[in-house]
Structure 1
């Protein structure tokens, strides 16, 4: 199966470099390039790619607004690019529906792997990424009391709530299975149910939901 991708970055050399690396892969086809968010949205609407590799900071329309539009209108998965791993816009990008983010100095192999992972329906939610996401969430909610778990989670079973809490800690399916003493297949079912019931795209949004509903309190898992 070929992964169709649009690459959007306002820096021509960066855009061309990423496109060249990805297009050289036998299972990846770069169908279009864009130099700002508006062009990225137009390219996704025209080509209907599987993945949009999108810079966060661009002129005309930034990557966050572009991601919000693309995720609302299509099933295209969005992988954000940022210069710094503590970019102030990372949280907003994930909140908009992005499936993860990469630093622009990402290694060639990691770039290719990330695109394949996101295209397969997974998200880039390594523990280090989770830590940064939680840190940003904590800084945004430091002056507010944590809300009680909302009724939004009432539709989840006990096991599904436990699964959501473990996802928010950055645990993999294998690690969750070990903690619950169940099979990895069972965990995959729990994860799928959590995402479906809460209307979430992936594990990144599951982490955000866990904090926003008060299931997990910032600082409690540090």
Structure 2
């Protein structure tokens, strides 16, 4: 059976004090939810601040110098893509992540905003932790005291699971995937659940986003 593997490097050995700064842009509730989601990663996240407007955020980013920007996709202060662009011009090395209070972040929105990742209120803590770990691994966070990352977990998907994942990234529904790959809807569902389990995610957006981060899918697939 054909398999595809991706090496997931775990977060680098943390110093006693964490080094990742997070800035949240959006509604007040997003701050509470974002803090709740990131709280368990205090060994990585040292400080988290929040603003409600893009203008405030850009000014704060110049002083605060965050490593990660968490953008509320339903923020009333402008389009997500425009907000991402404004911050990218201010601090191009910052990793941008999208957040939704709902259960879905459109893949096309993540692509257009050039987001590093996306998660929702239903995203599992393990998936968020993996995304934060990827940011650390990819040197978005510079730490002269850190050493080479420890060996991570090996994620393996079968050839059929990769075919299903690729169709998912194209926005195909389960019935459409079944017709394209000549398999039953039940089999597609089984493959989908297996993909979620192996990647440690809960939905399609997380699966596609995380697979892109691992290099298993091209960005904009």
Q: Normalising to structure 1: TM-score of the pair?
A: 0.51
Within the alignment, does 1:76 sit opposite 2:98 as a pair? no
Q: Relative contact order (C-alpha < 8 Å, sep 6+): which is higher?
A: 2
Distance 2:75 2:165 in 1: 22
Matches within 5 A, 1:1-222: 1=14, 2-10=19-27, 12-23=28-39, 25-73=42-90, 74-82=92-100, 83-85=102-104, 87=106, 90-121=107-138, 131-135=167-171, 206-208=218-220
Q: Report the Cα distance in structure 1 between the residues aligned to 2:34 and 2:83, rounded to whole angstroms.
A: 19
| Higher fraction of strand | 2
Q: Distance in 2 between matches of 1:97 and 1:69?
A: 12
Q: 1:122 to 1:99 in 2, by over 3 A?
A: farther
Relative distance call for 1:86 and 1:31 in structure 2 (3 A) is: closer
In 1, are the aligned partners of 2:30 and 2:72 still within 8 Å (CA)? no
Mark the runs of 5 or more structure 2 residues left unpaired by the alignment.
Answer: 1-13, 141-156, 173-210
* Structure 1 residues 86 and 112: alpha-carbon distance in aligned structure 2, compared to 1, 3 A threshold: closer
Number of equivalent positions: 144
Contact 2:95 2:115 in 1 (8 A): yes
Q: Does the residue aligned with 1:79 lie in a helix, a strand or coil?
A: strand
Aligned partners of 1:80 and 1:100 also within 8 Å: yes
Q: Compute the TM-score of the two structures, normalised by the length of structure 2.
A: 0.51
Post-superposition Cα deviations, 1:81-100, rounded to whole Å, max 9, x if no partner, equal 1324363xx41342232112
Contact kept? 2:54, 2:83, Cα under 8 Å: yes
Aligned-CA RMSD value: 3.8
Offset, 1:129: 7.8
Q: Confirm or deny: 8 A CA contact 2:25 2:53 kept in the other structure.
A: yes
**Higher normalized helix content (fraction of residues):** 1
